[in-house]
Structure 1
């Protein structure tokens, strides 16, 4: 149900002084493989927990590689998806708070993370913008004892070296603890994608065929620093200050050369592009926890966030004879500032019964400026475009939730959350844009430990979630392509009339736990999404443009399974091997799009992971994981479609520990080196047009030395 969202700025200002922090468990729980399984078994709200040891097992230098091996999670490009759904259906949280606009999970160094929580269903405490589910990145915790750890490593991919280093220093004193974690990392690659474009007439005759061979060299230099201070006060109170600073410098150099077989050439058959970007982000929050003894606990948090991106881009288009035709220079920047706060009071009503009420507010300001200068060497008039806009977003939410162990075998969670958003955007070349929405989101979860069994249980969850439009999709600014505008390579323009997508979701699961850390689970889910956002492709003044719009209802459903256990659980004399497997099958259909293949947001149909870890000796361990993501054609509307090839990835590692403080880790990623294929198609009255891009894959090697002092 939608409602108008109105509140006075003064109310937001007053509420910003109080913030919702976790009741302490978020930051203070050490999670091993065994304890992660125990916590998964005990929590009323279904979640999968990946501890620091597990996330660092393969020596990955980005979190996307860690997450692709988890049940029900897929990775497409830089986007992490649950239920296979892209386009923002999966919510990314940092310490329980929504990640800031423009956040990329690859920008977060794994060394900064204490654990990862995968939540299949929503809870009232967190934002309900989680149609597919939520992934919560919990930053490194405070110290319980003195810690000194450093890591040095280097990788090699596409004949380019990728060095890395990290350092952590922490200690606990009387009434005070501190921890500082820092990381440096460089990633670089060099790819050579080939794009083939074909056009067919109404009778199927070939009208055009051209190939574009590209070479793209990119690099990212990153630095991260996260200090954390914690004071323990009288009567059990505590104050925590936590900051995360990230710097990155990116560089891109690309060249493309077209081979014409049939039909017309593109506007710029030979073209080159360079891009330089500087990105800085700072996240800082202070939290206070006050204990009322056995009666309850009050948590308060206030946070500040800032990020800035500066980009310098140049495109040079030439003819097939290398004669220069166009020089396009673009300088842009984007700045995001926000003040966030939330608060929760936890009342312990009785043994196994807790009631929480709280609120969550924030004020976000995003400004973007872009200056474009085009020079035409064939005699055209120079073109200049200066654009800027400022978007102000207000967010306010209130929630209540009740967790109750009704019996020894029945646990119930019930909650309700109201969340409102108001966005105001204005700019030099844009008309003012205003958007507001409010959503009531009830949620209920049930955990039933089956009678007559030791550790078998059923889960059931019902929740209403939503997905708010992004600022980019709301602003009616036009983003133009540099070369060969077509139905398969259109411009993009936002739509200020977009509404939030609303969803009802049902989740069910059967879980069986055995041994110290064994688990086998089968689950199913269903979602009904209204006002689903689709892309509308149209031809305007000879230029193809796509824009988002709301159009009807979509149905999403699927099943998942995962199992992991030590082999010795079943064979006492077996080698020390841990086995794991998970698989997911997803379906969706959009009512307004004719089938077959009318999947929502080009949903990944299926994922599969098979892995093992073998402790060869007290000093040596090895392991491997095979990941599979299926693809195929998906229809965006009656005429347009997209294609994604099957992705197969094989990763492996070897770990040598000569003593209790030293580790030498060898990681091998993407050993199959499979070619990645993606494509677009458009079928209209004039015939069929399709574009297919194939990017060769390459394996990477990484060696890391880790030392605890």
Structure 2
């Protein structure tokens, strides 16, 4: 029998052979630095940047980047760090849209695929860390096995982590002639439990049932204080203040999938799911004069609930040996309700006022799609898809007349992959798609998030807008890819987007308080290039990883210069090395760079973000075939984080800048197969 060898990893094969342009992060890369959060892992991947804990593709956040869990949109408002990396089988970074997945992927999609393996497995991981001067610990368990036609698994992580930062802020107000500084402290401790149980049945007729769940429970305790020094001019209302908050969050996603074989070449899958997300928070603010005399107390109780019922289905059939045809649907009925009660009182206990806000938003979404993956020739693959998606949003609440908006989007998608003649490992990709960005339900609720002290144009209250409409975009993507050796690859890609009904911020003053609210206004152009490569060094037993991304955008509703879309990150890059000096030892590092700069938010308001430089390193010792120890050094450069807000009109100007020191962290993770 002829011997056949398959070179390259499974992740590389998925990326190379799929008609759609994607980057696949496999289990080995997920484990590399022992990351306890998904955002820390993703910031090293091609085309990905992280700003304020928000993961962005093409430098765009704020809803432009879609998060999928097993191919389905994650619940709105869910933090990507709610998913422990230990629960993940692989991550797919999708650069363009497809008809099967939601078209809410203007910048692209990140698809998190949870573990589904049914092989016998018993693993534990124990971790200790010190990040930003705060100790943390974690424990992970993986169990999987099979009993006849039933296979099952359970992945779970229990962690206790936190952070501590001490920003120093300077505020200069011209017109009111004031200069003051703030020394602040912010701390947070979070205890979190992640569970991902799964069951798979094979029925007598060959049908399968799969029950996949994700449960997150976490409790967060936070504290902060601020001490003001007035250089000249008037001080704020409460120059000495502190706050405390405690919140509890429960998130559940549960889905049951039935798969049935139809004829010789057809397959039908139907899924029914339920999402539940509940958060309640107790918050207290205490304001005092410069000499520490108590002046004011604000107590806030709030809760938010998101419930969704989802359904999806797909029929897949192979036609004439060259076409894979799929038709299907997906839909969701989501309700978000919020309650916020605010009680203000003087130091004596006398009531100063009460504010009760109750709102509810309901979003109904239904989508129909059809797609055809066509092997035109042995070297040319094409993908044609069409998706129709309808949205119906309704917002009402106390002292608010019901507001209802309906919209629909047709999203054609065309993709092509051409393997170059006489070049078995080189290929070109092209894609054209229409995508959109729907307003998140939290932005549809007109409740106001108030600033307790020093409200101003650079530190305003935030309020939602029930009249928001989706943003619509046409996008073009192109890429050249080359694969070599067992693991080597290189890619250069470019993209362009034209967007209308862009969501921008409106800043205004109302009853002495500054407020910002989103609204639809203007058009935008977005473009960029990306490069990524991975290859072995012939002289050393080492692999090199390189990636870089340059992004441009222009928003016509805001005057230039620096009128970038959604504070887009202009440039990001990573250089990494994995070195194996001995069979039992692996060493590695990653150096990252992310630029910022000035961004004009409106004709009077601008913001600034400093350059971020990071260096992470790790060492992995394999004691034997079943146990290993991983030690990671994180943020070795411990660079200060710089932020700024600037406002100017005809009569006054305000500049508010802050610098937050960071610290080098260390993490140790012990892994054992039982």
The TM-score normalised by the length of structure 2 is 0.97
3-state SS, counterpart of residue 88 of structure 1: coil
Is 1:371 the counterpart of 2:341? The answer is yes
Distance in 2 (alpha carbons) for counterparts of 1:213 and 1:114? 43
Is 1:192 the counterpart of 2:157? The answer is no
Aligned with 1:148 (options 108, 122, 130): 122
Is the CA contact 2:361–2:445 (under 8 Å) kept in the aligned structure 1? Answer: no
3-state SS, counterpart of residue 312 of structure 1: strand
Matches within 5 A, 1:244-323: 244-323=214-293
Is 1:512 the counterpart of 2:477? The answer is no
Aligned with 1:581 (options 540, 546, 559): 546
Cα gap change, 1:32 to 1:293, in 2 (>3 Å): farther
1:459 CA drift (Å) = 0.4
Distance in 1 (alpha carbons) for counterparts of 2:247 and 2:263? 51
Is 1:621 the counterpart of 2:586? The answer is yes
Aligned with 2:469 (options 481, 488, 499): 499
1:106 CA drift (Å) = 1.0
Distance in 2 (alpha carbons) for counterparts of 1:406 and 1:102? 42
3-state SS, counterpart of residue 382 of structure 1: strand
Is the CA contact 1:122–1:128 (under 8 Å) kept in the aligned structure 2? Answer: yes
Is 1:696 the counterpart of 2:661? The answer is yes
Distance in 1 (alpha carbons) for counterparts of 2:205 and 2:323? 23
Matches within 5 A, 1:388-427: 388-427=358-397
Is the CA contact 1:142–1:229 (under 8 Å) kept in the aligned structure 2? Answer: no
Per-residue CA deviations over 1:339-360 (Å, capped at 9, x if unaligned) read 1010000011022311100000
Distance in 2 (alpha carbons) for counterparts of 1:543 and 1:560? 43
Is the CA contact 1:38–1:517 (under 8 Å) kept in the aligned structure 2? Answer: no
Distance in 1 (alpha carbons) for counterparts of 2:133 and 2:60? 34
Distance in 1 (alpha carbons) for counterparts of 2:8 and 2:569? 28
Is 1:464 the counterpart of 2:429? The answer is no
Matches within 5 A, 1:651-690: 651-690=616-655
Aligned with 1:229 (options 199, 202, 208): 199
- Worse-superposed segment, 206-215 or 334-343: 206-215
Per-residue CA deviations over 1:527-546 (Å, capped at 9, x if unaligned) read 00001011011122322111
Per-residue CA deviations over 1:400-437 (Å, capped at 9, x if unaligned) read 00100110110000101111111112212332221221
Per-residue CA deviations over 1:681-706 (Å, capped at 9, x if unaligned) read 11111132111111101111111110
Aligned with 2:451 (options 459, 464, 481): 481
Distance in 1 (alpha carbons) for counterparts of 2:57 and 2:195? 29
Is the CA contact 2:142–2:156 (under 8 Å) kept in the aligned structure 1? Answer: yes
Is 1:75 the counterpart of 2:45? The answer is no
Is the CA contact 1:235–1:291 (under 8 Å) kept in the aligned structure 2? Answer: no
Runs (5+) with no aligned partner, structure 2: 1-5
Distance in 1 (alpha carbons) for counterparts of 2:132 and 2:333? 43
Distance in 1 (alpha carbons) for counterparts of 2:509 and 2:340? 25
1:69 CA drift (Å) = 0.4
Is 1:631 the counterpart of 2:596? The answer is yes
Q: Which residue of 2 aligns with 1:9?
A: none
Is 1:103 the counterpart of 2:78? The answer is yes
Could you list the structure 1 runs, at least 4 aligned residues long, displaced by more than 4 angstroms after superposition.
378-381
Per-residue CA deviations over 1:311-349 (Å, capped at 9, x if unaligned) read 000000111111111100001111111110100000110
The TM-score normalised by the length of structure 1 is 0.93
3-state SS, counterpart of residue 155 of structure 1: strand
Is the CA contact 1:91–1:135 (under 8 Å) kept in the aligned structure 2? Answer: yes
Per-residue CA deviations over 1:92-126 (Å, capped at 9, x if unaligned) read 01111111122001111111111100000000001
Cα gap change, 1:379 to 1:59, in 2 (>3 Å): closer
Q: Which residue of 2 aligns with 1:5?
A: none
Is the CA contact 1:33–1:51 (under 8 Å) kept in the aligned structure 2? Answer: no
3-state SS, counterpart of residue 37 of structure 1: helix
Is 1:640 the counterpart of 2:605? The answer is yes
1:378 CA drift (Å) = 7.5
Distance in 2 (alpha carbons) for counterparts of 1:544 and 1:644? 22
1:223 CA drift (Å) = 0.4
Is 1:336 the counterpart of 2:306? The answer is yes
3-state SS, counterpart of residue 558 of structure 2: coil
Is 1:179 the counterpart of 2:144? The answer is no
Q: Which residue of 2 aligns with 1:14?
A: none
3-state SS, counterpart of residue 100 of structure 1: coil
Distance in 1 (alpha carbons) for counterparts of 2:240 and 2:320? 73
Per-residue CA deviations over 1:21-56 (Å, capped at 9, x if unaligned) read xxxxxxxxxx99722112111100111000111111
Per-residue CA deviations over 1:512-562 (Å, capped at 9, x if unaligned) read 111111111110000000010110111223221111111110000000000
Is 1:93 the counterpart of 2:48? The answer is no
Distance in 2 (alpha carbons) for counterparts of 1:376 and 1:417? 57
Q: Which residue of 2 aligns with 1:428?
A: 398
How many pairs were matched up? 669
Is the CA contact 2:360–2:445 (under 8 Å) kept in the aligned structure 1? Answer: no
Distance in 1 (alpha carbons) for counterparts of 2:571 and 2:168? 26
Per-residue CA deviations over 1:546-592 (Å, capped at 9, x if unaligned) read 1111111000000000010111xxx3xx2210001000000000012
Matches within 5 A, 1:10-21: none
Is the CA contact 1:32–1:52 (under 8 Å) kept in the aligned structure 2? Answer: no
Is the CA contact 1:557–1:587 (under 8 Å) kept in the aligned structure 2? Answer: yes
Distance in 2 (alpha carbons) for counterparts of 1:48 and 1:228? 26
3-state SS, counterpart of residue 406 of structure 1: strand
Distance in 1 (alpha carbons) for counterparts of 2:197 and 2:179? 56
Is the CA contact 1:334–1:369 (under 8 Å) kept in the aligned structure 2? Answer: yes
Distance in 2 (alpha carbons) for counterparts of 1:266 and 1:696? 24
1:304 CA drift (Å) = 0.9
Is the CA contact 1:368–1:390 (under 8 Å) kept in the aligned structure 2? Answer: yes
Per-residue CA deviations over 1:470-505 (Å, capped at 9, x if unaligned) read 222222222221111111011122222211100000
Is the CA contact 1:294–1:348 (under 8 Å) kept in the aligned structure 2? Answer: no
Distance in 1 (alpha carbons) for counterparts of 2:194 and 2:446? 35
Cα gap change, 1:139 to 1:32, in 2 (>3 Å): farther
Distance in 2 (alpha carbons) for counterparts of 1:493 and 1:228? 40
Distance in 1 (alpha carbons) for counterparts of 2:252 and 2:396? 26
Is 1:127 the counterpart of 2:127? The answer is no
3-state SS, counterpart of residue 234 of structure 1: coil
3-state SS, counterpart of residue 9 of structure 2: helix
Distance in 2 (alpha carbons) for counterparts of 1:32 and 1:146? 26
- Worse-superposed segment, 80-89 or 31-40: 31-40
Distance in 2 (alpha carbons) for counterparts of 1:382 and 1:200? 31
Is the CA contact 2:34–2:669 (under 8 Å) kept in the aligned structure 1? Answer: yes
Is the CA contact 2:8–2:486 (under 8 Å) kept in the aligned structure 1? Answer: no
Is the CA contact 1:64–1:105 (under 8 Å) kept in the aligned structure 2? Answer: yes
Is the CA contact 2:547–2:573 (under 8 Å) kept in the aligned structure 1? Answer: yes
Aligned with 1:162 (options 132, 136, 143): 136
Distance in 1 (alpha carbons) for counterparts of 2:73 and 2:38? 17
1:463 CA drift (Å) = 0.4
Q: Which residue of 1 aligns with 2:297?
A: 327
Cα gap change, 1:274 to 1:33, in 2 (>3 Å): farther
1:208 CA drift (Å) = 1.8
